[in-house]
Structure 1
């Protein structure tokens, strides 16, 4: 074997597009770790789905029946105009409270919750969920005395956002979810950001 042949033999071969998607499935090789990630995915997805269900139907946990969305309640306006929003950005959040913010918030909670629980569209869900959580973090203004949080830097919004990012990066939808068949769809193969 000549020197140039040995260099070529040692060079990595760039996999085809579909092979690259398959290779990404093997990021976490331990079956136990994949199951733990699947449980994290299901729990995180349920946080968003539960927020939708409780606010839509007034299940009595954070939303009483009389304030349910189906009874004319205002899920985002109730939060944005209520006592939960504190700090210097309160006027900004009050200005975006509208019927449109109610619809967008509820569709966001439903979409993120279902996608994460199903294990599909995790990149989009991670970005959308992180944006929602960042806005809620800022609305509750965790910094300073009288803040809406007991920790000025890391609260549950940050932990949930990090969970969404980990779930997406490590392809947690492939275990106990529809992630693998989702990735085989033609539209997802052509637009990998939909993974």
Structure 2
């Protein structure tokens, strides 16, 4: 729409934002029901992929982690991927980290924390940033990707978890609205 006053304005992307007033918090510019449903379903599915990876690696359920090779059986959740799957410019670094207590604990706590947060819709900022970082790190293990010289499913995953956090997806069919009203989050808003 053109105006007769001043220069033409370019359109900007308007993301939903939190509005705080008189002890209440509301999401301004929220998407419609169909979009909220898709965001919630995507958030829950992404959360479940992190939780499932955690459970499979702990117990060796025979999917990505062979039976009897789970963390609970003395197996390492990072030894295979970092020790044998690494390629490219960071191969040496990842081979050195493979199977170390630091790598195993950081990876498993990341899977669990991101999975719980995404599934429940709480702590979405931290989950989005952590999930994106984990995906990018996993992408860097296999550089260059097998089927594309630059992009693979890890980059797609990083963008998805980032978008879920930015769009406030935890507030849709999740505990995000309750979470943002807690005393803890009001005191430390970065936990949103």
**Could you say which structure has the higher strand fraction?**
2
Within a 5 Å distance, the mapping from 1:47-66 to structure 2 comes to: 47-66=49-68
Within a 5 Å distance, the mapping from 1:1-195 to structure 2 comes to: 16=21, 18-19=23-24, 21-22=25-26, 25-82=27-84, 84-97=85-98, 98-142=100-144, 148-195=145-192
**Could you say which structure has the higher helix fraction?**
1
Q: CA deviation at 1:18?
A: 4.5
Q: Kindly report the root-mean-square deviation, in angstroms, between the aligned alpha carbons of the 2 structures.
A: 1.6
CA distance in 2, matches of 1:185, 1:193: 13
Consecutive unaligned residues in structure 1, runs of 5 or more: 1-13, 143-147
CA distance in 2, matches of 1:70, 1:159: 31
CA distance in 1, matches of 2:22, 2:190: 13
Per-residue CA deviations over 1:40-82 (Å, capped at 9, x if unaligned) read 1011111111110111111111111121111001001222111
CA distance in 2, matches of 1:154, 1:130: 14
Runs of 4+ in structure 1 over 6 Å off: none
Q: CA deviation at 1:190?
A: 2.0
TM-score of the pair, normalised by structure 1: 0.83
CA distance in 1, matches of 2:176, 2:28: 13
TM-score of the pair, normalised by structure 2: 0.85
Structure whose CA Rg is larger: 1
Consecutive unaligned residues in structure 2, runs of 5 or more: 1-18
Q: CA deviation at 1:15?
A: 5.3
CA distance in 2, matches of 1:77, 1:18: 49
